[in-house]
Chains A and B, each alone.
Chain A
């Protein structure tokens, strides 16, 4: 391979790229750190184009676990943070990394599991009781194990159930250390129980032998919050445009967009900024 050939190759590649529409080439954009569960649900694809149309600001979504999203934002690598673990969010603001936290919407967590239901939890209204039965049966449980919002919620539920699942890690308690979708894939393959947010569950396309089994426990409530990364700490943060997104999400238009987002007729998120 010679320099000349290489330059030729690169030129061809650039020409191909230049010939394709570059939707992301907008000059005005903000970076939104959010969670895989939110992104995988398709919510952003549904509502963000409306925001862009209204304001001309493109939003680049970096979807990672809540824990990683918080750390990205702490380091100043995002302008706005949109996650779902209130205690962490409040700590984030208290530490001066964020300006202020606002409620935007909620959905809920559900426990899914194999249709055979070896632990007998179908229809239980008490999530902690369901977990106790799973543990007692020694039925397989697939955990995110990645310090995400969902994982944090799951640990709080185990605590409420009075069980330390970490002691059984590797036995019936399986920590995947990966995202919501990957964990559901694992659960489907293992016939394991798992805790998931409803949005990801509804939009997940590889349910295999899994079914929704426990819902409705107030402890399964899943509140989403949005925070502007503090420009006082990270001067490059696009505060005005980031605030515009937050304002829009809290506005009637944004709230309506969230409320209208449906998959297979089901509403995934309930807007509650005004509460």
Chain B
């Protein structure tokens, strides 16, 4: 109990004192994870739409595969990208290893399956509702996908938040491809891992509380937004 109250105190002090290092780490975390979510949404949502609307041989296999990829171990993704981005790897010439860009790439790989798989379900349900009418209007598949993505924006926001949650919480992948370099690639989760390894348990837990607060704020904000929009638009 003593450790936890100390952690709470540390967290409060970190936030209230606007600790410079903390601000830097938090903003890098946000920058990396929000960029990753944006990129993953731009990739994952069209995939979700296409999968929802198409019927092809082997679709079940593809969907099961996608569902399995939702549980992709971050360390494996990190290792894979490390081998790609390493100077001796195929993309080594880009010099992306140990940069925020590499961390973004890792998180994108982690959350595209989440957004595609969960989004596919949302869009498929919407298609069941709107499909006949859209086809009656003469919408082509691509137009229909665009419309469904817009129509499902509130439900899809939840999907994207699930992606953000995974992106901002994972440590294995960004540790490997980012290297946890102070002032360059150190984010909330790698900082927590580092402080834990230094035995600074209450500082680590304090950082953890800050991370949770942050995630609470993002999710709470989205929830409020979503509810307001839902009330206004009649769902």
Contact = CB atoms under 8 A, between A and B. Distances in A.
A36 B28 contact: no
A206 B23 CA distance: 26
B31 interface: yes
Kindly state the interface size class of chain A when it binds its partner.
35 or more
B42 interface: yes
Interface of B is mostly: helix
B200 A206 contact: yes
A36 B197 contact: yes
Contacts of B86: 75-77
A222 B84 CA distance: 34
Nearest to A71: B86
A179 B183 CA distance: 21
Given A6-B41, A76-B92, A60 B184 contact: yes
Interface stretch (A7-15, A149-157, A251-259): A7-15
A263 to B, nearest CB: 12
Interface in B157-188: 157, 159-160, 179-184
Interface residues of B, number: 43
A220 interface: no
B140 interface: no
B17 to A, nearest CB: 15
B20 interface: yes
B234 interface: no
A51 B207 CA distance: 30
A84 B189 CA distance: 27
Interface in A53-97: 60-63, 75-77
8 contacts: A13-B34, A24-B183, A40-B198, A60-B98, A77-B97, A179-B197, A181-B199, A188-B199
Interface of A: 1-3, 6-7, 9-10, 12-14, 16-17, 19-24, 31, 36, 40, 45, 60-63, 75-77, 178-182, 184-185, 188, 203-207, 234, 236
